[in-house]
Amino acid sequence: MRYLDKTAIENISIGAAFLGTGGGGDPYIGKLMAISAIEQNGPVRLYSVDEIADEDFFIPTAMMGAPSVSSEKFPNGSEFVKVFQKLSRYLGKDNIAGTYPMEAGGVNSMIPIVVAAQLGLPLVDCDGMGRAFPELQMVTFNLDGVPATPMAITDEKGNIGIFETIDNKWTERLARAVTVEMGASALVSLYPTTGAQMKTSGVHGIVTLSEQIGEIIASKNRDAKDKLEELLQLVSGYELFQGKIVDVIRETKGGFNLGRMNLEGIEGHKGGNMDVHFQNENLVAEKDGRVVAMTPDLICLVDFETLSPITTESLKYGKRVRVIGLPAHEKWRTAKGIETAGPKYFGYDYEYVPLEKLVNKAVTDHV
Amino acid sequence: MRYLDKTAIENISIGAAFLGTGGGGDPYIGKLMAISAIEQNGPVRLYSVDEIADEDFFIPTAMMGAPSVSSEKFPNGSEFVKVFQKLSRYLGKDNIAGTYPMEAGGVNSMIPIVVAAQLGLPLVDCDGMGRAFPELQMVTFNLDGVPATPMAITDEKGNIGIFETIDNKWTERLARAVTVEMGASALVSLYPTTGAQMKTSGVHGIVTLSEQIGEIIASKNRDAKDKLEELLQLVSGYELFQGKIVDVIRETKGGFNLGRMNLEGIEGHKGGNMDVHFQNENLVAEKDGRVVAMTPDLICLVDFETLSPITTESLKYGKRVRVIGLPAHEKWRTAKGIETAGPKYFGYDYEYVPLEKLVNKAVTDHV
């Protein structure tokens, strides 16, 4: 057990934006809320999964919908607590042992910290993605057959829904329909899980990893190259491209931010070109027409100089960026993981090839 | 209190199809289920609202969505009981005193009989419309500020939702989105009400009125004119047109059946023409380009010879029909009633004029 203070939250929010792979929502407002919550209630306890009891119950809380909308109509902290409590009451449990992020990437890294601080509960160093993903069934718990429901869904106006579904894709379908009707953004509490389930099916240590990523990116008086090297080593990542944003096409549709951006090579990649496709999160990167990284592996855009993570909502013409690829957690690289969140699920008609192989192939081709 | 036997159910289903004003779903399959349920469990007790206790709780059950779809994927009786019990458990009440139709018109007249028979509960002679209407807030209880939620919604696959909303239009919005996702048809249990609320805000005696309408229409060895006269007297109605269906345009959209039919005058109306617009239910009738009846008043199509009610799903080219107008229940003719279910709500840009006035004006014009 250790305490998360203001500095820890600052760093986690940066690491979470990085792991958000463009989506997951900008953690900025969430960070302010989390800091305010610990200033009022004291620092939050962070437990590793080894420290929690198998039979205890934990409930995550998150935002659902198009990140571009959630940052426009951001709820207040009490609403996160409300959806959490709605689900715990529906479950008939008043002894929920703690909370944790369902999605460590993006704003959903911060919401459980707000809930933990306000309710005096611990946060667990675990999530269900190891990154951000756009749909509710894209969760490692789902891969192991843990039900997403009962779930609670609320909006900032005070409407409340509860679902119990026959499978987790139906959870996604019904909750998405309600999210769209609620204005393309909603608060959800779902995947109520035991400590044992989190030990078996969660992505462990992700809050700490986010913090470490954030520490590197936030560190002062170091040049980009030096920081990048340390970052890539920490996450076993690759720099895929250095480019300037020359085109972005996007729309908000069906409760998602959908689109594609085009980058023109700079520095080491002059003359080259990269397309990045996204549905909330970056899903596929094509370099000079050839796929170099694909979901469920992570495709992260960072500022060329500062390495600050860039969300799809803040893509700007002319911005100079680095594109970084990270291997997904091993749970996503199983047959079930690829079926659930691989390229074919998102409508790209090719087989999943791990990032490392694609990168090495590209290197070989160059020789 | 009296018992509803098989003959009563047969007649209620005919009267309910009439009051369904084209929508509300064909009660045919519902009737078979209701008869089967009383054959297995004995006749259902029907209480008048005067016979129920003010402090007792009652829960209606209904189908929601496009009637054309509900008749294709009709649920079995246990599913109606399930949604009823889901809501009563959510309310924390295991002593629900009875059930009643939220909508007396169409298939939703039969569903509460199935629930009543299966659970051994009484049915109350009351509904929340006095007819059929397409949306959840178009209920007399809503006019008096009774909340539609908590509500339960289920599908035939086993998915379950519960809503608590800030107002009854939000209930309609969220439940409609889920209904569409569930395949344009769902089972709902909503407007949990006390006996006192039903006395104040319900439409009383509607089950008995349906039965009486059904008795007239089903009566043998009488000519159409004679039966029609008795029917019009019972419901204070008017025969608006005698015609042949020459055109029907319809589509299933947003969980509704939408469309328009055109009738060519026959018999007493030769040379004339009528357009009837519908959204599940018939909403506006225009005779020779002039409105002669409009929602919330009832526009009912019946077979020219037998007076059997005709639903919008069964409209057939060449069919000879009579169009009958009925004044809506007085609760619908208040300012709140007209705002909730009058022509403007449905996008027709004119003021509501009561049926009697429109009919008398037409008569005057002819002189």
The residues near B335 (Cβ < 8 Å, ≥ 6 apart) are: none
Q: Does A163 touch chain B (CB under 8 A)?
A: yes
pLDDT band at B87 (very low <50, low <70, confident <90, very high): very high
- Give me the residues of A, 213-272, that contact B with CB < 8 A: none
pLDDT confidence of residue B363 = 63
pLDDT tens per residue, range A283-339: 999 999 999 999 999 999 999 999 999 988 788 899 999 999 999 999 999 999 999
Whether the pLDDT of residue B360 is over 90: the answer is: no
Inspect the interface and report whether the beta carbons of A158 and B173 lie closer than 8 Å.
no
A59 to chain B, closest Cα gap in Å = 19
Residue with tokens 């919330």: B296
Nearest to A181 among B159, B161, B174 (CB): B174
Q: Does A91 touch chain B (CB under 8 A)?
A: no
From B238, B234, B185, B216, select the one nearest B309 (Cα to Cα).
B216
* Mean pLDDT of the region B255-284: 91
pLDDT tens per residue, range A347-363: 999 899 999 999 987 66
From A129, A136, A132, A133, select the one nearest A153 (Cα to Cα).
A136
Interface pTM, i.e. ipTM = 0.86
Return mean pLDDT, chain A: 93
Bigger pLDDT: B147 or A315? B147
pLDDT confidence of residue A257 = 79
Nearest to B161 among A157, A159, A162 (CB): A162
* DSSP letter, residue B3: E
- Provide the token pair at A322: 């680095």
At the fourth CATH level, which superfamily is domain A2-206? CV3147-like domain (3.40.1610.10)
Q: Using a CB-CB distance cutoff of 8 angstroms, which residues of chain B are in contact with residue A159? A: 163-166, 170, 174
pLDDT confidence of residue B68 = 60
Nearest to B157 among A159, A166, A182 (CB): A166
Q: Using a CB-CB distance cutoff of 8 angstroms, which residues of chain B are in contact with residue A170? A: 157, 159
Inspect the interface and report whether the beta carbons of B174 and A174 lie closer than 8 Å.
no
pLDDT band at A242 (very low <50, low <70, confident <90, very high): very high
CA dist., res. B88 & res. A265, Å (int): 63
- E strands, chain A, in order: 2-4, 44-47, 57-58, 61-65, 123-124, 126-127, 151-154, 160-164, 185-189, 193-194, 203-204, 238-253, 256-265, 273-279, 281-287, 290-294, 298-303, 320-326
pLDDT tens per residue, range A160-197: 999 999 999 999 999 999 999 998 889 999 999 999 99
B177 to chain A, closest Cα gap in Å = 6
Nearest to B178 among A157, A164, A178 (CB): A178
List beta partners, residue B275: B262, B286
Cα B150–chain centre separation: 22
From A278, A240, A264, select the one nearest A318 (Cα to Cα).
A264
Nearest to B181 among A158, A162, A174 (CB): A174
Surface-to-core class of residue B172, CB atoms within 10 Å of its CB (0-12 exposed, 13-18 middle, 19+ buried): buried
pLDDT confidence of residue B365 = 63
pLDDT tens per residue, range B181-204: 998 889 999 999 999 999 999 999
A283 to chain B, closest Cα gap in Å = 26
pLDDT confidence of residue A365 = 62
Inspect the interface and report whether the beta carbons of A164 and B159 lie closer than 8 Å.
yes
Nearest to A165 among B159, B165, B180 (CB): B159
pLDDT confidence of residue B367 = 47
For residues A66-91, one letter each, b for 16 or more C-beta atoms within 10 angstroms of the residue's C-beta and e for the rest, the string is: bbbbbbeebbebebbbbbbbbbbebe
pLDDT confidence of residue B292 = 96
pLDDT band at A367 (very low <50, low <70, confident <90, very high): very low
Inspect the interface and report whether the beta carbons of B170 and A159 lie closer than 8 Å.
yes
pLDDT tens per residue, range B345-354: 999 998 999 9
Whether the pLDDT of residue B31 is over 80: the answer is: yes
List beta partners, residue A340: none
User: Coil, strand or helix: which one is A151?
Assistant: strand
Closest residue on chain A to B163 (Cα): A161
Q: Where are the domains of chain A?
A: 2-206, 231-366
* Mean pLDDT of the region B277-301: 95
Q: Does B310 touch chain A (CB under 8 A)?
A: no
B63 to chain A, closest Cα gap in Å = 18
For residues A23-54, one letter each, b for 16 or more C-beta atoms within 10 angstroms of the residue's C-beta and e for the rest, the string is: bbbbbbebbebbbebbeeeebbbbbebeebee
Inspect the interface and report whether the beta carbons of B163 and A165 lie closer than 8 Å.
no
Best of B91, B169, B174, B182 to mutate (most A CBs within 10 Å, chain A): B174
* Mean pLDDT of the region B339-362: 92
CA dist., res. A210 & res. A109, Å (int): 9
pLDDT confidence of residue B73 = 58
B157 to chain A, closest Cα gap in Å = 7
- What dihedral angle (degrees, nearest 10) is formed by the CA atoms of A327, A328, A330, A331? -170
pLDDT tens per residue, range A62-112: 999 876 655 555 666 788 999 999 999 999 998 999 999 999 999 999 999
Inspect the interface and report whether the beta carbons of A159 and B182 lie closer than 8 Å.
no
| Beta carbons of B198 and B126 less than 8 angstroms apart | yes
pLDDT tens per residue, range A260-295: 999 999 988 999 999 999 988 999 999 999 999 999
pLDDT above 90 covers what percent of chain A?
81
We find that the CATH architecture of domain A231-366 is: Beta Barrel (2.40)
Inspect the interface and report whether the beta carbons of B159 and A170 lie closer than 8 Å.
yes
Q: Using a CB-CB distance cutoff of 8 angstroms, which residues of chain B are in contact with residue A163? A: 159-162
Whether the pLDDT of residue B268 is over 50: the answer is: yes
- Provide the token pair at B129: 């419309």
Distances (CA, A) of A348 to A150, A277, A345: 32, 10, 7
pLDDT band at A258 (very low <50, low <70, confident <90, very high): confident
pLDDT confidence of residue A250 = 85
